[in-house]
Structure formats: C-alpha cells, structure tokens
Amino acid sequence: MTSAQTDKTGRGADDRIVELEVWTDVACPWCYIGATRLAAALDGFDRRDRVRVTWRAYELASDAEAGAGRREVDALVDSKGMTVEQVQHMFGQVSQVAAGDGLQLDFDATIAANTFDAHRLVHLAGAGTAQGGRVLRALYRAHFADGVAVDDVDALVAIAEEQGLDAGAVRAELADRDSAAAVGVREDELLAARFGITGVPFFIADRAYAVSGAQPVGVLTELLRTAFDGTEDD
C-alpha cells in the first residue's frame, strides 16, 4: 500500500483525520495525569496534525453539592467512609505519580466541587478545539494546584477571561441551566453510558479503539498508531 491509497472514507490515507474522544472529569486527578500524558504522546506523534481531540464530560460525583466549599479530604472521609489518614495516604500516592509527570498537586488546598458548570465552560470554549483544551487544563490546575472552587461562578468567569473568553457571555451561559453547552454536557454523559464507560479518563479513537485509565505515554501513542494503521485498507 502506498501513501496515496485511500481509506474506507474515500479520503487519502495520508490526510485522514483520527477523531480522539476523551471522557474526563475536572475533579479527577487521574484525568489530569492522563491529559498530561496524552499531550506528551501527541507532541511526539508524527501525525499529530491529523488527530482531532474532543474532550467529553463525565461527572464522578454528579450529586455533589455545588458551592459547599468543603476540603476534598473532608468530603471523601464523609462520602467514602475512609479515615483522614487513609485519604491522605491515597492523596500522597497520587501526588507522587503526578510529580513524575511534572504536576504539583496540593490536596490540602483542593476544594470538593460539583463539576457540571466547569464542563459547561469547556463546551462553551469548544470541546473539540485547542481553546477548549486550554480551558480544561486551566480548570485542572485551578482545582488541584490553586485551591479554587471550580463550581463557583465568579471563579469560572475569571478562568474563562484568562483563557480569552468573554466574561459576559460566560456568565450568561452559566445562568442558563438549559443552554447549548449544558445540553452538550448531558449528551456526553449519555454517550458514556451508551459505550459502557464507568470510569475516567477514557480514550476512544474513531469509536473503534479504546483504552481506559491514565495510561503511559507509550500506550496512548500506540492507540493513535492503531487508529491510523488499523483502519487503512490492506
């Protein structure tokens, strides 16, 4: 097969786009790690310009009270029946892994949050765009490193402004529970249920190849290669 051969869509195999969908939650440290590893995989991938990433919403705690302002450690002690020592030990393990990927997590400052509005902000920025990816990374950083309550409207508007979004438009969006972005978040979650996704991060390439969890860079690179090579004609 030559590079000029066409794939099953009729496009040239040398210009085909792979659609990579990533289900993630802003309040999931493994999602932050997974997103960082995906960025590293894409940076070293020879067909990076032909991968389109779409960030899809998943709420690990959709029933979490918005605006409660509780420390994450206290929220987990109550919701999981764990001791403070057990939670802190778990946080220590996650922080150690994250540090290996260049991330500094401050769980002592992390505030438990309902992430629905944060997901709406990603959709408003463009879940399938570079700006949407930047907003998501800013939300991760705000939640896990800066002690920001990512279910606070003023905090979300500030993050949006820092990433180049219009503050007035964002505030109006967050005031409308039935906005287009809100619908988009719910559709993402319905898709997750349809695909049987029960944990995040979860990566699906071309809705044909999938891996779950904060996989190493090499595994994510292999997912991308399989998506390209596995869909070409023999």
Element (H, E) at 33: helix 29-43
Q: At residue 208, what are phi and psi to the nearest 5 degrees?
A: -130, -30
pLDDT given for residue 70 in this prediction = 94
List per-residue pLDDT tens for the chain, 234 residues long.
222 233 444 444 568 899 999 999 999 999 999 999 999 999 999 999 999 999 999 999 999 999 999 999 999 999 888 999 999 999 999 999 999 999 999 999 999 999 999 999 999 999 999 999 999 999 999 999 999 999 999 999 999 999 999 999 999 999 998 999 999 999 999 999 999 999 999 999 999 999 999 999 999 999 999 999 985 443
Angle, CA 225 vertex, CA 224 and CA 227 arms, to 5°:
65
Q: How many other CB atoms sit within 10 Å of the CB of residue 109?
A: 14
Q: Please write down the HEC assignment for all residues of 123-157.
A: HHHCCCCHHHHHHHHHHHHHHHCCCCCCCCHHHHH
pLDDT given for residue 9 in this prediction = 43
**What burial letters (b/e) apply to 118-133, b meaning 16+ CB within 10 Å?**
bbbbbbbbbbeeeebb
If 0-12 CB within 10 Å is exposed, 13-18 middle and 19+ buried, where does residue 113 land?
buried
pLDDT given for residue 6 in this prediction = 37
The DSSP output letter for 111 is B
Task: Give domain limits for the chain.
Answer: 18-229
Pick the CATH number of 18-229 from 3.40.30.120, 3.40.30.10, 3.30.1490.20, 3.40.1010.10: 3.40.30.10
CB 4 within 8 A of CB 10: no
> How big is the chain, counted in residues?
234
